[in-house]
Chain A
Amino acid sequence: MADKTMTAPEVVARLRSGMTLGIGGWGSRRKPLALVREILRSDLRDLTVVSYGGPDVGLLCAAGKIRKLVFGFVSLDSIPLDPHFRAARQSGRIEVAEYDEGMLQWGLYAASLRLPFLPTRAGLGSDVLTVNPELRTVADPYGGGEELLAMPALPLDAALVHLHRADTAGNAQCLGPDPYFDDLFCGAAEHAFVSCERIVPTARLTEDAHPATLVVRRLAVEGVVEAPGGAHFTSCAPDYPRDEAYQKEYADAARSPAAWEAFHHRYLTGDGHHRTPGHHGEGQPV
């Protein structure tokens, strides 16, 4: 099997400005922030980002990397609203496609199945149709009389997800409470990249865990990055919880351009990893 291990800079070197990028996780939970940090360091711009949004969206908004956001919400969970995302929206700097969070799943699912659309009730009667005038409805061809929303596929150029363990071939394991939609992001993407807390031998993956925890299969994965603490400051339970103090500093950095500059500089140095020693790596139950 091919060894797909690479570094975060090598992942970002495969991305291009203007690409549509899917980011896994949910809110401020298990976000691939080590990879996002690498995007912040890069020259990439004009990205279309598809996300169940958390600080990934806020960081990329504040750094001016996003041209268009495809989303259902942006939240930091313990802080209900992300101030960087709000600032970007309120200044009109970013374009958006706002969908019901189930529609977003349907769009990724359709793309992963190579279908042009999937029908749903979600969105009908709401202003989701007003603000996305390209959306169309489709009549039940079997005569049931229902006119449903045809959620278009959301194909991704690339997907970035962070999971707990992976092998060098790209089989990736979720040990947390919920895989969220990480496998769909990978399935919808032309190029999918997985970062993980630890790369382990394949046999090690199921020594203590059910095979059902192997939620991303290598056939969908182009690159694997070992990034201990790679979801910090979002939660990566059971390996580590959200770093609430750090998240608050992140949110507070929206108060002024100077505050953002200071946070941005410190964030790019990777300082965050050293603030919560021992929150990842050896000694954690697998």
Chain B
Amino acid sequence: MSDATRAEICAVACAEAFRGSGEILASAFGTAPTLGVRLARATFAPDLLLTDGEARLVQGTWPLGAAPDGPVEGHASFRTIFDLVWSGRRHAMMVPTQIDAHGNVNISAIGPYDAPEVQLVGVRGAPGNTLCHPVSYWVPRHSTRVFVPRVDMVCGVGTAAAAAVGRAARHHDLRRVVTDLAVLDFAPTTGTLRLVSVHPGVSAEDVVARTGCPLVIEGDIPATRLPTAAELRLIREVIDPAGLRDKEIAA
């Protein structure tokens, strides 16, 4: 019986989203994804490139909240990052404020656009990211407030909207949505959210109850895999010794 916490299971699920991504820039927002990409590179995805949050590409595995101590292997100013975005050599995991069944994502504003009820950060790079390279999402609190029937402002482009764009959206590639309850992806036939696995202790019914948009559920849903002993050691001793993961997802 593993003693892995929910936060640790989420971190490994985030890492899994980058399995097979190859030699690309991995960009992570939020604690579990940041932990996840470092874990992925330290284990099964050694070719990933990571930045220090500014303009340095850095090797090695360093703790959350600390400055990297590995060798600098490159310089990537924000302008270079934009070039990488548009070249497709990147996989980003972002945090949606709202997401719908087709994977449209809002991080800009809630309510009437001219005078929003809640002004958020802005579209940022979400429109370009979703048109140009693989994108996954991390939802630290799976709820009907996040999973909605319709997002107020489409920042990250979903499957149906991308299909409507046509050939110019041929690089659109939504991968996974990892939440504190489950792992989701997009069913190829409908382009809509599908339940891939539920975290240990969570049922498919729990997920449905906290999802405000349709969810494809095919057959019996397996449990999200547990961290290996080596992964747990890396998480606890190397990448997050301060336990920041427990601030995002309660133990």
Give min CB distance, A62 to chain B, whole Å: 14
Mask for A186-197, Cβ within 8 A of B = 1, else 0?
000000000000
Complex contact A126–B157 (CB within 8 A)? yes
Give min CB distance, B96 to chain A, whole Å: 13
For the complex, give the distance between the alpha carbons of A130 and B62 in Å: 42
Partner of B115, one of A74, A90, A100, A101: A90
**Contact A80:B77 (CB < 8 A) given known A126-B127, A126-B161, A148-B168:** no
Residues of B within 8 A of A103 (CB): 127-128
Residues of B within 8 A of A114 (CB): none
For the complex, give the distance between the alpha carbons of A147 and B131 in Å: 13
* B162 close to A (CB within 8 Å): yes
Complex contact A128–B121 (CB within 8 A)? no
Nearest-CB residue, chain B, relative to A137: B168
User: Which parts of A71-86 form the interface with B (CB within 8 Å)?
Assistant: 71-75, 80-81, 85-86
Give min CB distance, A86 to chain B, whole Å: 4
Residues of B within 8 A of A181 (CB): 78-79
For the complex, give the distance between the alpha carbons of A72 and B166 in Å: 25
Partner of B55, one of A125, A131, A177: A177
Query: Which A residues are closer than 8 A to B by beta carbons?
Result: 26, 53, 71-75, 80-81, 85-86, 89-92, 98-103, 105, 120-128, 130-131, 144-148, 177-181
Residues of A within 8 A of B114 (CB): 92
Complex contact A98–B108 (CB within 8 A)? yes
Complex contact B119–A89 (CB within 8 A)? yes
Complex contact B157–A124 (CB within 8 A)? yes
**Contact A90:B108 (CB < 8 A) given known A72-B124, A100-B125, A178-B54:** no
Residues of A within 8 A of B126 (CB): 100, 126
| Of listed A73, A123, A148, residue having the most chain B CB within 10 A | A73
Partner of A26, one of B78, B122, B130, B155: B78
Complex contact B168–A100 (CB within 8 A)? no
Nearest-CB residue, chain B, relative to A75: B121
For the complex, give the distance between the alpha carbons of A85 and B118 in Å: 11
Complex contact A71–B115 (CB within 8 A)? no
* B154 close to A (CB within 8 Å): yes
**Contact A74:B121 (CB < 8 A) given known A124-B168, A125-B154, A145-B167:** yes
Give min CB distance, B74 to chain A, whole Å: 13
Complex contact A121–B132 (CB within 8 A)? yes
Residues of A within 8 A of B234 (CB): none
Residues of A within 8 A of B56 (CB): 177
Interface residues on chain B, number (Cβ under 8 Å)? 45
* B251 close to A (CB within 8 Å): no
Query: Which B residues are closer than 8 A to A by beta carbons?
Result: 54-56, 77-79, 82, 85-86, 108-109, 113-128, 130-132, 153-157, 161-162, 164-169, 171-172
Nearest-CB residue, chain A, relative to B166: A147
Complex contact A73–B122 (CB within 8 A)? yes
Nearest-CB residue, chain B, relative to A83: B119
Give min CB distance, A142 to chain B, whole Å: 13
Give min CB distance, B37 to chain A, whole Å: 20
For the complex, give the distance between the alpha carbons of A126 and B167 in Å: 15
Nearest-CB residue, chain B, relative to A101: B125
Residues of B within 8 A of A99 (CB): 123
Complex contact B115–A102 (CB within 8 A)? no
**Contact A122:B168 (CB < 8 A) given known A89-B115, A92-B114, A178-B55:** no
Give min CB distance, A156 to chain B, whole Å: 18
Complex contact B86–A120 (CB within 8 A)? yes
Give min CB distance, B16 to chain A, whole Å: 27
Nearest-CB residue, chain A, relative to B106: A127
Complex contact A177–B54 (CB within 8 A)? yes
Complex contact B77–A179 (CB within 8 A)? yes
For the complex, give the distance between the alpha carbons of A80 and B118 in Å: 14
Residues of B within 8 A of A102 (CB): 82, 85-86, 125, 128
Give min CB distance, B232 to chain A, whole Å: 30
Partner of B153, one of A125, A127, A179, A180: A127
Nearest-CB residue, chain A, relative to B128: A122
Nearest-CB residue, chain B, relative to A181: B79
Residues of B within 8 A of A80 (CB): 121
Nearest-CB residue, chain B, relative to A126: B127
Residues of A within 8 A of B168 (CB): 121, 124, 146-148
Residues of B within 8 A of A128 (CB): 123, 127, 155
Complex contact A81–B121 (CB within 8 A)? yes
Nearest-CB residue, chain B, relative to A147: B168
